[in-house]
Chain A
Amino acid sequence: MLQNILASAVSDGLIYSFVAIGVFLTFRVLAFPDLTVDGSFVTGGSIAAIIIANGGNPFLATIAAFAGGLACGSATGVLNTKLRISALLSGILMMVALYSINLRIMSGANIPLLRDITIFESIAHFFGTTKDITLVIGVLAVSALIFFIVLNWFLRTEIGLALRASGDNEQMVRSLGSDTDKNTIIGCAISNGLVAFSGALVAQNNGFCDVNMGAGMIVMGLAMVIIGEALFRPRGVASMLLSAIGGAFIYRLFITIALRLGLAPGDLKLITAVLVVLALAIPYIRKKVRHEWVPPAVKF
Protein backbone atom coordinates (compact mmCIF):
# COMPACT_ATOMS: atom_id res chain seq x y z
CA MET A 1 0.00 0.00 0.00
CA LEU A 2 2.60 2.55 1.15
CA GLN A 3 4.90 1.32 -1.59
CA ASN A 4 2.13 1.86 -4.14
CA ILE A 5 1.51 5.39 -2.92
CA LEU A 6 5.21 6.24 -3.04
CA ALA A 7 5.75 4.69 -6.46
CA SER A 8 2.83 6.54 -7.97
CA ALA A 9 3.89 9.83 -6.32
CA VAL A 10 7.42 9.38 -7.67
CA SER A 11 6.30 8.62 -11.21
CA ASP A 12 3.67 11.40 -11.25
CA GLY A 13 6.10 13.78 -9.56
CA LEU A 14 8.76 13.08 -12.17
CA ILE A 15 6.39 13.29 -15.13
CA TYR A 16 5.10 16.71 -13.97
CA SER A 17 8.51 17.92 -12.76
CA PHE A 18 9.12 19.24 -16.28
CA VAL A 19 6.07 21.48 -15.84
CA ALA A 20 7.45 22.57 -12.46
CA ILE A 21 10.83 23.46 -13.97
CA GLY A 22 9.12 25.24 -16.87
CA VAL A 23 6.94 27.31 -14.55
CA PHE A 24 9.96 27.99 -12.35
CA LEU A 25 11.84 29.35 -15.40
CA THR A 26 9.13 31.84 -16.32
CA PHE A 27 7.68 32.83 -12.93
CA ARG A 28 10.86 32.85 -10.89
CA VAL A 29 13.79 33.26 -13.26
CA LEU A 30 12.22 35.62 -15.80
CA ALA A 31 9.55 37.10 -13.49
CA PHE A 32 7.19 36.51 -16.42
CA PRO A 33 3.81 35.04 -15.31
CA ASP A 34 3.29 32.85 -18.36
CA LEU A 35 -0.14 31.21 -18.67
CA THR A 36 0.65 29.64 -22.06
CA VAL A 37 1.31 26.44 -20.11
CA ASP A 38 -2.32 25.26 -20.07
CA GLY A 39 -2.27 25.25 -23.88
CA SER A 40 1.31 24.18 -24.60
CA PHE A 41 0.97 21.13 -22.33
CA VAL A 42 -1.78 19.82 -24.60
CA THR A 43 0.12 20.91 -27.72
CA GLY A 44 2.97 18.65 -26.63
CA GLY A 45 0.56 15.81 -25.95
CA SER A 46 -1.30 16.19 -29.21
CA ILE A 47 1.81 16.45 -31.39
CA ALA A 48 3.22 13.29 -29.81
CA ALA A 49 -0.16 11.52 -29.99
CA ILE A 50 -0.87 12.27 -33.64
CA ILE A 51 2.61 11.12 -34.71
CA ILE A 52 2.48 7.95 -32.62
CA ALA A 53 -1.10 7.12 -33.66
CA ASN A 54 0.06 7.29 -37.28
CA GLY A 55 2.82 4.80 -36.59
CA GLY A 56 5.63 7.32 -36.12
CA ASN A 57 8.71 6.83 -33.96
CA PRO A 58 7.80 7.69 -30.33
CA PHE A 59 11.23 9.28 -29.69
CA LEU A 60 10.87 11.58 -32.68
CA ALA A 61 7.28 12.27 -31.59
CA THR A 62 8.47 13.35 -28.14
CA ILE A 63 11.20 15.54 -29.59
CA ALA A 64 8.67 17.07 -32.01
CA ALA A 65 6.42 17.80 -29.01
CA PHE A 66 9.31 19.61 -27.29
CA ALA A 67 9.91 21.63 -30.46
CA GLY A 68 6.21 22.49 -30.62
CA GLY A 69 6.43 23.80 -27.06
CA LEU A 70 9.45 25.92 -28.01
CA ALA A 71 7.34 27.48 -30.77
CA CYS A 72 4.40 28.18 -28.39
CA GLY A 73 6.70 29.88 -25.87
CA SER A 74 8.47 31.93 -28.54
CA ALA A 75 5.10 33.18 -29.76
CA THR A 76 4.14 34.30 -26.24
CA GLY A 77 7.53 35.99 -25.85
CA VAL A 78 7.12 37.80 -29.16
CA LEU A 79 3.62 39.02 -28.22
CA ASN A 80 5.04 40.50 -25.02
CA THR A 81 8.35 41.96 -26.23
CA LYS A 82 7.67 42.96 -29.83
CA LEU A 83 3.99 43.92 -29.59
CA ARG A 84 4.14 45.12 -25.97
CA ILE A 85 1.15 43.07 -24.81
CA SER A 86 1.37 42.46 -21.07
CA ALA A 87 2.90 39.16 -20.00
CA LEU A 88 -0.33 37.87 -18.45
CA LEU A 89 -2.44 38.74 -21.47
CA SER A 90 0.14 37.33 -23.92
CA GLY A 91 -0.07 34.01 -22.12
CA ILE A 92 -3.87 34.03 -21.98
CA LEU A 93 -4.11 34.86 -25.69
CA MET A 94 -1.75 32.02 -26.56
CA MET A 95 -3.61 29.63 -24.26
CA VAL A 96 -6.90 30.39 -26.03
CA ALA A 97 -5.36 30.24 -29.49
CA LEU A 98 -3.69 26.94 -28.69
CA TYR A 99 -7.03 25.36 -27.77
CA SER A 100 -8.11 25.67 -31.40
CA ILE A 101 -4.69 24.70 -32.68
CA ASN A 102 -4.63 21.58 -30.50
CA LEU A 103 -8.05 20.51 -31.86
CA ARG A 104 -6.64 20.98 -35.38
CA ILE A 105 -3.48 18.99 -34.60
CA MET A 106 -5.53 16.05 -33.31
CA SER A 107 -8.40 16.57 -35.83
CA GLY A 108 -10.68 16.06 -32.84
CA ALA A 109 -10.94 16.33 -29.10
CA ASN A 110 -8.83 13.29 -28.22
CA ILE A 111 -6.61 10.54 -29.54
CA PRO A 112 -6.35 7.11 -27.87
CA LEU A 113 -2.90 5.50 -27.86
CA LEU A 114 -3.77 2.23 -26.19
CA ARG A 115 -2.64 -0.03 -29.02
CA ASP A 116 0.27 2.08 -30.19
CA ILE A 117 3.96 1.82 -29.37
CA THR A 118 4.78 4.71 -27.00
CA ILE A 119 8.22 5.74 -25.78
CA PHE A 120 7.75 3.57 -22.68
CA GLU A 121 6.83 0.44 -24.65
CA SER A 122 9.64 1.08 -27.07
CA ILE A 123 12.22 1.27 -24.24
CA ALA A 124 10.64 -1.72 -22.45
CA HIS A 125 10.92 -3.69 -25.67
CA PHE A 126 14.61 -2.72 -25.98
CA PHE A 127 15.33 -4.09 -22.49
CA GLY A 128 13.19 -7.17 -23.15
CA THR A 129 10.56 -6.40 -20.51
CA THR A 130 7.07 -4.91 -20.50
CA LYS A 131 5.90 -1.47 -19.40
CA ASP A 132 5.51 -1.35 -15.62
CA ILE A 133 5.87 1.32 -12.93
CA THR A 134 9.59 0.61 -12.40
CA LEU A 135 10.32 1.08 -16.07
CA VAL A 136 8.24 4.28 -16.23
CA ILE A 137 10.07 5.71 -13.21
CA GLY A 138 13.40 4.73 -14.75
CA VAL A 139 12.65 6.45 -18.06
CA LEU A 140 11.33 9.57 -16.34
CA ALA A 141 14.24 9.75 -13.91
CA VAL A 142 16.76 9.61 -16.74
CA SER A 143 14.90 12.33 -18.70
CA ALA A 144 14.68 14.53 -15.60
CA LEU A 145 18.39 14.03 -14.94
CA ILE A 146 19.26 14.99 -18.51
CA PHE A 147 17.17 18.18 -18.35
CA PHE A 148 18.59 19.00 -14.92
CA ILE A 149 22.17 18.69 -16.17
CA VAL A 150 21.52 20.70 -19.33
CA LEU A 151 19.64 23.50 -17.56
CA ASN A 152 22.11 23.64 -14.68
CA TRP A 153 24.83 24.17 -17.26
CA PHE A 154 22.82 26.55 -19.45
CA LEU A 155 21.76 28.90 -16.63
CA ARG A 156 25.42 29.38 -15.70
CA THR A 157 26.56 30.30 -19.20
CA GLU A 158 26.86 33.94 -20.24
CA ILE A 159 23.52 33.86 -22.00
CA GLY A 160 21.88 31.95 -19.13
CA LEU A 161 23.20 34.48 -16.62
CA ALA A 162 21.80 37.34 -18.75
CA LEU A 163 18.47 35.50 -18.79
CA ARG A 164 18.43 35.20 -14.99
CA ALA A 165 19.38 38.85 -14.63
CA SER A 166 16.56 39.89 -17.02
CA GLY A 167 14.03 38.69 -14.46
CA ASP A 168 15.75 40.69 -11.74
CA ASN A 169 16.71 44.02 -13.28
CA GLU A 170 15.79 44.44 -16.93
CA GLN A 171 17.01 48.03 -17.17
CA MET A 172 20.46 47.04 -15.96
CA VAL A 173 20.68 44.07 -18.32
CA ARG A 174 19.90 46.31 -21.31
CA SER A 175 22.44 48.86 -20.17
CA LEU A 176 25.06 46.11 -20.02
CA GLY A 177 24.42 45.23 -23.65
CA SER A 178 22.14 42.21 -23.52
CA ASP A 179 18.95 42.14 -25.60
CA THR A 180 16.27 41.63 -22.93
CA ASP A 181 13.60 40.96 -25.59
CA LYS A 182 15.66 38.05 -26.87
CA ASN A 183 16.23 36.78 -23.33
CA THR A 184 12.50 36.79 -22.59
CA ILE A 185 11.70 34.94 -25.81
CA ILE A 186 14.40 32.31 -25.18
CA GLY A 187 13.23 31.82 -21.59
CA CYS A 188 9.55 31.43 -22.53
CA ALA A 189 10.51 29.05 -25.34
CA ILE A 190 12.54 26.73 -23.09
CA SER A 191 9.84 26.84 -20.41
CA ASN A 192 7.05 25.81 -22.78
CA GLY A 193 9.31 23.27 -24.46
CA LEU A 194 9.62 21.53 -21.08
CA VAL A 195 5.87 21.79 -20.48
CA ALA A 196 5.09 20.31 -23.89
CA PHE A 197 7.63 17.55 -23.25
CA SER A 198 5.75 16.75 -20.05
CA GLY A 199 2.45 16.74 -21.97
CA ALA A 200 3.91 14.30 -24.50
CA LEU A 201 5.01 11.93 -21.72
CA VAL A 202 1.69 12.19 -19.87
CA ALA A 203 -0.25 11.37 -23.06
CA GLN A 204 1.98 8.36 -23.72
CA ASN A 205 1.83 7.16 -20.12
CA ASN A 206 -1.94 7.49 -19.86
CA GLY A 207 -2.57 6.04 -23.29
CA PHE A 208 -4.53 8.99 -24.64
CA CYS A 209 -4.38 12.71 -25.29
CA ASP A 210 -7.36 14.93 -24.56
CA VAL A 211 -7.79 18.58 -25.50
CA ASN A 212 -8.76 19.44 -21.91
CA MET A 213 -5.89 17.72 -20.12
CA GLY A 214 -4.00 21.01 -19.70
CA ALA A 215 -6.71 22.76 -17.69
CA GLY A 216 -5.24 24.16 -14.47
CA MET A 217 -1.71 23.10 -15.39
CA ILE A 218 -0.30 26.54 -14.61
CA VAL A 219 -1.74 26.51 -11.10
CA MET A 220 -0.42 23.01 -10.53
CA GLY A 221 3.03 24.05 -11.76
CA LEU A 222 2.98 27.06 -9.48
CA ALA A 223 1.92 24.93 -6.51
CA MET A 224 4.86 22.59 -7.13
CA VAL A 225 7.33 25.48 -7.38
CA ILE A 226 5.99 27.14 -4.23
CA ILE A 227 6.01 23.91 -2.23
CA GLY A 228 9.58 23.24 -3.34
CA GLU A 229 10.67 26.72 -2.30
CA ALA A 230 8.93 26.55 1.06
CA LEU A 231 10.40 23.15 1.94
CA PHE A 232 13.90 23.35 0.52
CA ARG A 233 14.65 27.12 0.65
CA PRO A 234 16.94 26.89 -2.37
CA ARG A 235 19.91 29.16 -3.07
CA GLY A 236 21.75 28.95 -6.33
CA VAL A 237 20.84 27.47 -9.70
CA ALA A 238 21.22 23.76 -8.99
CA SER A 239 19.29 23.78 -5.74
CA MET A 240 16.48 25.84 -7.28
CA LEU A 241 16.07 23.32 -10.10
CA LEU A 242 16.17 20.44 -7.62
CA SER A 243 13.65 22.10 -5.35
CA ALA A 244 11.22 22.45 -8.28
CA ILE A 245 11.58 18.71 -8.90
CA GLY A 246 11.26 18.00 -5.18
CA GLY A 247 8.19 20.25 -4.99
CA ALA A 248 6.60 18.28 -7.83
CA PHE A 249 7.14 15.04 -5.91
CA ILE A 250 5.75 16.38 -2.62
CA TYR A 251 2.74 17.87 -4.40
CA ARG A 252 1.94 14.58 -6.10
CA LEU A 253 2.44 12.76 -2.80
CA PHE A 254 -0.18 15.06 -1.25
CA ILE A 255 -2.56 14.42 -4.12
CA THR A 256 -2.06 10.67 -4.14
CA ILE A 257 -2.73 10.45 -0.40
CA ALA A 258 -5.77 12.73 -0.69
CA LEU A 259 -7.19 10.50 -3.42
CA ARG A 260 -6.56 7.35 -1.39
CA LEU A 261 -8.37 8.94 1.53
CA GLY A 262 -11.43 9.08 -0.68
CA LEU A 263 -11.35 12.62 -2.04
CA ALA A 264 -13.14 13.09 -5.38
CA PRO A 265 -10.65 13.69 -8.24
CA GLY A 266 -12.83 16.64 -9.28
CA ASP A 267 -11.91 18.49 -6.06
CA LEU A 268 -8.17 18.40 -6.74
CA LYS A 269 -8.06 21.65 -8.70
CA LEU A 270 -9.86 23.50 -5.93
CA ILE A 271 -7.42 22.17 -3.36
CA THR A 272 -4.47 23.12 -5.56
CA ALA A 273 -5.86 26.62 -6.07
CA VAL A 274 -6.40 27.08 -2.32
CA LEU A 275 -2.84 25.88 -1.71
CA VAL A 276 -1.44 28.51 -4.07
CA VAL A 277 -3.68 31.24 -2.63
CA LEU A 278 -2.42 30.43 0.87
CA ALA A 279 1.20 30.37 -0.22
CA LEU A 280 0.86 33.74 -1.93
CA ALA A 281 -1.25 35.38 0.78
CA ILE A 282 0.65 34.30 3.89
CA PRO A 283 3.69 36.57 3.35
CA TYR A 284 1.33 39.52 2.76
CA ILE A 285 -0.79 38.79 5.84
CA ARG A 286 2.34 38.33 7.94
CA LYS A 287 3.55 41.79 6.88
CA LYS A 288 0.12 43.30 7.53
CA VAL A 289 0.10 41.90 11.07
CA ARG A 290 3.54 43.38 11.71
CA HIS A 291 2.39 46.74 10.30
CA GLU A 292 5.08 46.62 7.63
CA TRP A 293 4.75 48.48 4.37
CA VAL A 294 3.19 46.42 1.59
CA PRO A 295 3.10 47.43 -2.07
CA PRO A 296 -0.31 48.19 -3.63
CA ALA A 297 -2.09 45.42 -5.51
CA VAL A 298 -0.77 44.79 -9.00
CA LYS A 299 -3.42 45.04 -11.72
CA PHE A 300 -1.36 43.56 -14.52
Chain B
Amino acid sequence: MLQLTNTRKVFARGTVDEVTALDGINLDVYPDNFVTIIGSNGAGKSTLLNIIAGVFPPEVGGKVIINGDDITKLSEYKHAAYVSRVWQEPSVGTAGKLTIEENLSLALSRGMSRGVRASLNKQRRELFHSALVPLRLGLEDRLSTPVGTLSGGQRQALALVMATISKPAVLLLDEHIATLDPRTAQTVLDLSDMVVRQERMITLMVTHNMEIALHHGNRLVMMHKGKIIVDIGQQDKQALTVSDLVTAFERAAGEQLTDESILLSQR
Protein backbone atom coordinates (compact mmCIF):
# COMPACT_ATOMS: atom_id res chain seq x y z
CA MET B 1 0.00 0.00 0.00
CA LEU B 2 1.16 3.51 -0.90
CA GLN B 3 0.24 6.30 1.50
CA LEU B 4 0.83 9.99 0.96
CA THR B 5 0.01 12.18 3.93
CA ASN B 6 -0.09 15.95 3.96
CA THR B 7 2.23 16.12 0.96
CA ARG B 8 3.08 19.71 0.08
CA LYS B 9 5.67 21.12 -2.28
CA VAL B 10 6.54 24.77 -2.80
CA PHE B 11 9.01 25.84 -5.49
CA ALA B 12 11.03 29.08 -5.51
CA ARG B 13 9.87 29.90 -2.00
CA GLY B 14 10.19 33.55 -1.05
CA THR B 15 10.53 34.82 -4.62
CA VAL B 16 7.98 36.38 -6.95
CA ASP B 17 7.88 33.05 -8.79
CA GLU B 18 6.74 31.13 -5.71
CA VAL B 19 4.49 28.24 -6.75
CA THR B 20 2.64 25.77 -4.57
CA ALA B 21 2.92 22.72 -6.79
CA LEU B 22 1.32 20.34 -4.30
CA ASP B 23 -1.10 21.65 -1.71
CA GLY B 24 -1.51 19.03 1.02
CA ILE B 25 -2.19 15.80 -0.86
CA ASN B 26 -3.58 12.88 1.12
CA LEU B 27 -3.84 9.72 -0.93
CA ASP B 28 -4.09 6.04 -0.02
CA VAL B 29 -3.43 3.67 -2.90
CA TYR B 30 -4.30 0.04 -2.20
CA PRO B 31 -2.76 -3.10 -3.64
CA ASP B 32 -4.27 -3.87 -7.07
CA ASN B 33 -5.06 -0.19 -7.61
CA PHE B 34 -4.25 1.00 -11.12
CA VAL B 35 -4.79 4.75 -10.79
CA THR B 36 -4.96 7.02 -13.80
CA ILE B 37 -4.06 10.60 -12.92
CA ILE B 38 -5.32 13.43 -15.07
CA GLY B 39 -5.00 17.18 -14.82
CA SER B 40 -4.05 20.25 -16.77
CA ASN B 41 -0.54 21.64 -17.03
CA GLY B 42 0.73 22.75 -13.64
CA ALA B 43 -1.80 20.63 -11.74
CA GLY B 44 1.01 18.93 -9.82
CA LYS B 45 0.99 15.50 -11.48
CA SER B 46 4.70 15.41 -12.21
CA THR B 47 5.59 16.87 -8.82
CA LEU B 48 3.55 14.10 -7.21
CA LEU B 49 5.42 11.40 -9.12
CA ASN B 50 8.78 13.07 -8.43
CA ILE B 51 8.08 13.00 -4.70
CA ILE B 52 7.05 9.33 -4.79
CA ALA B 53 10.20 8.52 -6.82
CA GLY B 54 12.36 10.51 -4.40
CA VAL B 55 13.68 13.06 -6.91
CA PHE B 56 13.05 15.64 -4.20
CA PRO B 57 11.42 15.40 -0.76
CA PRO B 58 8.07 16.97 0.17
CA GLU B 59 7.88 19.95 2.54
CA VAL B 60 8.42 19.15 6.21
CA GLY B 61 5.42 17.30 7.65
CA GLY B 62 4.60 15.36 4.49
CA LYS B 63 5.10 11.62 4.41
CA VAL B 64 5.50 8.94 1.75
CA ILE B 65 4.92 5.44 3.10
CA ILE B 66 5.09 2.26 1.03
CA ASN B 67 4.04 -1.04 2.62
CA GLY B 68 4.67 0.45 6.05
CA ASP B 69 8.16 1.80 5.30
CA ASP B 70 8.58 5.57 5.59
CA ILE B 71 10.68 6.44 2.54
CA THR B 72 10.13 10.21 2.67
CA LYS B 73 13.73 11.10 3.44
CA LEU B 74 15.55 8.37 1.52
CA SER B 75 17.71 9.51 -1.39
CA GLU B 76 16.49 8.91 -4.92
CA TYR B 77 18.50 5.78 -5.60
CA LYS B 78 17.16 4.14 -2.45
CA HIS B 79 13.59 4.77 -3.57
CA ALA B 80 14.30 2.42 -6.45
CA ALA B 81 13.75 -0.57 -4.20
CA TYR B 82 10.14 0.52 -3.77
CA VAL B 83 9.30 2.49 -6.89
CA SER B 84 9.97 2.11 -10.59
CA ARG B 85 9.18 4.60 -13.29
CA VAL B 86 8.70 4.86 -17.04
CA TRP B 87 9.28 8.37 -18.39
CA GLN B 88 7.77 10.29 -21.24
CA GLU B 89 11.01 10.12 -23.25
CA PRO B 90 12.16 6.57 -24.08
CA SER B 91 15.76 7.82 -23.91
CA VAL B 92 15.42 8.62 -20.20
CA GLY B 93 14.37 5.13 -19.13
CA THR B 94 16.99 3.19 -21.08
CA ALA B 95 20.75 3.49 -21.66
CA GLY B 96 21.34 3.81 -25.41
CA LYS B 97 25.00 2.81 -25.48
CA LEU B 98 24.38 -0.43 -23.59
CA THR B 99 22.79 -3.55 -25.00
CA ILE B 100 19.27 -4.80 -24.28
CA GLU B 101 20.59 -7.48 -21.92
CA GLU B 102 22.85 -4.99 -20.10
CA ASN B 103 19.89 -2.65 -19.59
CA LEU B 104 17.80 -5.51 -18.24
CA SER B 105 20.63 -6.65 -15.99
CA LEU B 106 20.84 -3.17 -14.45
CA ALA B 107 17.09 -3.29 -13.86
CA LEU B 108 17.24 -6.77 -12.37
CA SER B 109 19.67 -5.54 -9.67
CA ARG B 110 17.14 -2.95 -8.49
CA GLY B 111 16.89 -2.89 -4.72
CA MET B 112 19.82 -5.26 -4.26
CA SER B 113 23.36 -4.30 -3.36
CA ARG B 114 25.46 -4.45 -6.49
CA GLY B 115 28.59 -6.50 -6.04
CA VAL B 116 31.28 -8.14 -8.13
CA ARG B 117 29.04 -10.92 -9.42
CA ALA B 118 28.93 -11.22 -13.20
CA SER B 119 26.22 -8.93 -14.55
CA LEU B 120 25.31 -11.42 -17.28
CA ASN B 121 25.16 -15.20 -17.34
CA LYS B 122 23.17 -17.96 -19.02
CA GLN B 123 20.50 -18.03 -16.34
CA ARG B 124 19.93 -14.27 -16.56
CA ARG B 125 19.80 -14.32 -20.35
CA GLU B 126 17.10 -16.98 -20.21
CA LEU B 127 15.15 -14.85 -17.76
CA PHE B 128 15.47 -11.80 -20.04
CA HIS B 129 14.43 -13.86 -23.03
CA SER B 130 11.24 -15.02 -21.36
CA ALA B 131 10.52 -11.51 -20.03
CA LEU B 132 10.67 -10.04 -23.54
CA VAL B 133 8.65 -12.70 -25.37
CA PRO B 134 5.22 -11.33 -24.27
CA LEU B 135 6.04 -7.99 -25.94
CA ARG B 136 5.91 -9.71 -29.35
CA LEU B 137 8.48 -7.28 -30.71
CA GLY B 138 11.19 -9.84 -31.33
CA LEU B 139 13.48 -8.14 -28.81
CA GLU B 140 14.13 -11.51 -27.12
CA ASP B 141 16.29 -12.55 -30.10
CA ARG B 142 18.30 -9.32 -30.08
CA LEU B 143 19.62 -9.33 -26.50
CA SER B 144 23.08 -8.08 -27.50
CA THR B 145 21.78 -5.22 -29.68
CA PRO B 146 22.63 -1.70 -28.45
CA VAL B 147 19.44 -0.04 -27.23
CA GLY B 148 20.29 3.15 -29.14
CA THR B 149 19.44 1.37 -32.39
CA LEU B 150 15.87 0.54 -31.32
CA SER B 151 12.81 2.62 -32.22
CA GLY B 152 11.10 4.82 -29.62
CA GLY B 153 8.26 2.35 -29.17
CA GLN B 154 10.64 -0.58 -28.74
CA ARG B 155 12.68 1.37 -26.21
CA GLN B 156 9.56 2.31 -24.28
CA ALA B 157 8.41 -1.32 -24.24
CA LEU B 158 11.86 -2.28 -22.95
CA ALA B 159 11.64 0.47 -20.31
CA LEU B 160 8.34 -1.05 -19.21
CA VAL B 161 9.92 -4.49 -18.77
CA MET B 162 12.86 -2.86 -16.94
CA ALA B 163 10.43 -1.17 -14.56
CA THR B 164 8.68 -4.42 -13.71
CA ILE B 165 11.30 -7.18 -13.94
CA SER B 166 12.33 -6.95 -10.30
CA LYS B 167 8.78 -6.16 -9.11
CA PRO B 168 9.05 -3.14 -6.81
CA ALA B 169 5.81 -2.29 -4.98
CA VAL B 170 4.87 0.76 -7.04
CA LEU B 171 4.98 1.44 -10.78
CA LEU B 172 4.86 5.04 -12.04
CA LEU B 173 3.92 5.65 -15.68
CA ASP B 174 4.71 9.30 -16.36
CA GLU B 175 2.90 10.18 -19.62
CA HIS B 176 4.85 7.28 -21.01
CA ILE B 177 3.04 7.17 -24.34
CA ALA B 178 2.91 10.92 -24.98
CA THR B 179 5.81 11.08 -27.43
CA LEU B 180 4.92 7.94 -29.39
CA ASP B 181 2.97 7.87 -32.66
CA PRO B 182 -0.69 6.81 -32.18
CA ARG B 183 -0.24 3.19 -33.22
CA THR B 184 2.88 2.60 -31.16
CA ALA B 185 1.23 4.44 -28.28
CA GLN B 186 -1.69 1.99 -28.38
CA THR B 187 0.70 -0.98 -28.42
CA VAL B 188 2.67 0.32 -25.43
CA LEU B 189 -0.57 1.13 -23.62
CA ASP B 190 -1.88 -2.41 -24.18
CA LEU B 191 1.45 -3.78 -22.97
CA SER B 192 1.17 -1.61 -19.86
CA ASP B 193 -2.29 -2.99 -19.12
CA MET B 194 -1.01 -6.52 -19.56
CA VAL B 195 2.08 -6.00 -17.40
CA VAL B 196 0.11 -4.32 -14.61
CA ARG B 197 -2.42 -7.15 -14.61
CA GLN B 198 0.31 -9.79 -14.54
CA GLU B 199 2.64 -8.27 -11.97
CA ARG B 200 -0.12 -6.86 -9.74
CA MET B 201 1.90 -3.77 -8.84
CA ILE B 202 0.36 -0.60 -7.44
CA THR B 203 0.32 1.59 -10.55
CA LEU B 204 -0.04 5.33 -11.04
CA MET B 205 -0.38 6.43 -14.66
CA VAL B 206 -0.26 10.12 -15.51
CA THR B 207 -1.94 11.05 -18.77
CA HIS B 208 -3.19 14.11 -20.59
CA ASN B 209 -5.84 12.16 -22.41
CA MET B 210 -9.29 11.81 -20.78
CA GLU B 211 -10.30 8.84 -22.92
CA ILE B 212 -7.23 6.94 -21.84
CA ALA B 213 -7.77 7.92 -18.22
CA LEU B 214 -11.33 6.58 -18.41
CA HIS B 215 -10.66 3.34 -20.24
CA HIS B 216 -7.58 2.18 -18.41
CA GLY B 217 -6.94 1.39 -14.78
CA ASN B 218 -9.52 0.92 -12.05
CA ARG B 219 -9.43 4.27 -10.28
CA LEU B 220 -9.29 7.81 -11.58
CA VAL B 221 -7.79 10.82 -9.86
CA MET B 222 -8.06 14.35 -11.23
CA MET B 223 -5.71 17.03 -9.98
CA HIS B 224 -6.02 20.78 -10.14
CA LYS B 225 -3.70 23.45 -8.71
CA GLY B 226 -1.89 21.00 -6.46
CA LYS B 227 -5.02 19.38 -5.06
CA ILE B 228 -6.95 16.20 -5.78
CA ILE B 229 -10.40 17.35 -6.89
CA VAL B 230 -11.87 14.11 -8.21
CA ASP B 231 -11.21 10.57 -6.98
CA ILE B 232 -13.41 7.90 -8.55
CA GLY B 233 -13.34 4.13 -8.02
CA GLN B 234 -13.84 1.38 -10.57
CA GLN B 235 -17.65 1.12 -10.35
CA ASP B 236 -18.39 4.81 -10.93
CA LYS B 237 -15.61 5.06 -13.47
CA GLN B 238 -17.13 2.51 -15.83
CA ALA B 239 -20.29 4.56 -16.29
CA LEU B 240 -18.38 7.79 -16.81
CA THR B 241 -17.94 9.72 -20.07
CA VAL B 242 -15.58 12.51 -20.98
CA SER B 243 -18.32 15.11 -20.65
CA ASP B 244 -19.15 13.78 -17.16
CA LEU B 245 -15.51 14.25 -16.34
CA VAL B 246 -15.53 17.83 -17.61
CA THR B 247 -18.65 18.54 -15.54
CA ALA B 248 -17.07 16.94 -12.49
CA PHE B 249 -14.01 19.08 -13.00
CA GLU B 250 -16.00 22.28 -13.33
CA ARG B 251 -18.04 21.53 -10.24
CA ALA B 252 -15.01 20.62 -8.14
CA ALA B 253 -12.69 23.35 -9.35
CA GLY B 254 -15.44 26.00 -9.52
CA GLU B 255 -14.25 27.21 -12.90
CA GLN B 256 -14.55 26.51 -16.60
CA LEU B 257 -12.26 23.91 -18.06
CA THR B 258 -10.23 25.78 -20.63
CA ASP B 259 -6.94 23.99 -20.74
CA GLU B 260 -6.46 23.31 -24.41
CA SER B 261 -4.37 20.22 -24.01
CA ILE B 262 -7.18 18.47 -22.15
CA LEU B 263 -9.93 19.60 -24.50
CA LEU B 264 -7.91 18.67 -27.53
CA SER B 265 -7.31 15.18 -26.31
CA GLN B 266 -11.03 14.42 -25.90
CA ARG B 267 -11.17 13.36 -29.57
Contacts and interface: CB of A to CB of B under 8 A. Distances in A.
Contacts of A175: 53, 76-77, 80, 84-85, 93
Given A174-B77, A177-B80, A177-B81, A158 B95 contact: no
A180 interface: yes
Contacts of A177: 77-78, 80-81, 109-112
A165 interface: yes
B107 interface: yes
B116 A159 contact: yes
Interface in B53-110: 53, 75-78, 80-81, 84-85, 91-98, 102-103, 105-107, 109-110
B35 interface: no
A178 to B, nearest CB: 6
A158 B106 CA distance: 7
A178 B110 CA distance: 8
Contacts of B117: 157-158
Contacts of A159: 114-116
Nearest to B119: A161
B120 interface: yes
A281 interface: no
Given A159-B116, A178-B106, A169 B80 contact: no
Interface in A88-107: none
A130 to B, nearest CB: 40
B114 A162 contact: yes
A168 B116 contact: no
Interface residues on B, range: 20 to 34
Contacts of A162: 106, 109, 114
Nearest to A163: B114
Interface of chain A: mostly helix, strand, loop or mixed: helix
Contacts of B116: 154, 157-160
Contacts of B93: 172, 175
A105 to B, nearest CB: 32
A179 B94 CA distance: 17
Nearest to A165: B95
A158 B119 contact: yes
Contact of A169 (B96, B110, B115): B96
Contacts of B77: 173-175, 177-180
B10 to A, nearest CB: 22
A171 B92 contact: yes
A174 B115 contact: no
A158 B114 contact: yes
A172 B94 contact: yes
B98 A164 contact: yes
A161 B121 CA distance: 13
A164 B146 CA distance: 13
B76 A158 contact: no
Contact of B119 (A160, A173, A176, A180): A160
A176 B118 contact: no
B206 interface: no
A295 to B, nearest CB: 14
Contact of B95 (A154, A160, A168, A180): A168
A274 B105 CA distance: 41
Given A176-B107, A176-B162, A157 B115 contact: yes
A160 B114 CA distance: 9
11 contacts: A156-B119, A156-B120, A161-B102, A161-B105, A168-B95, A169-B92, A172-B92, A174-B76, A175-B84, A177-B109, A178-B77
Interface of B: 53, 75-78, 80-81, 84-85, 91-98, 102-103, 105-107, 109-112, 114-120, 162
Lowest 3 CB-CB distances: which A-B pairs, in order? A177-B80, A158-B114, A161-B119
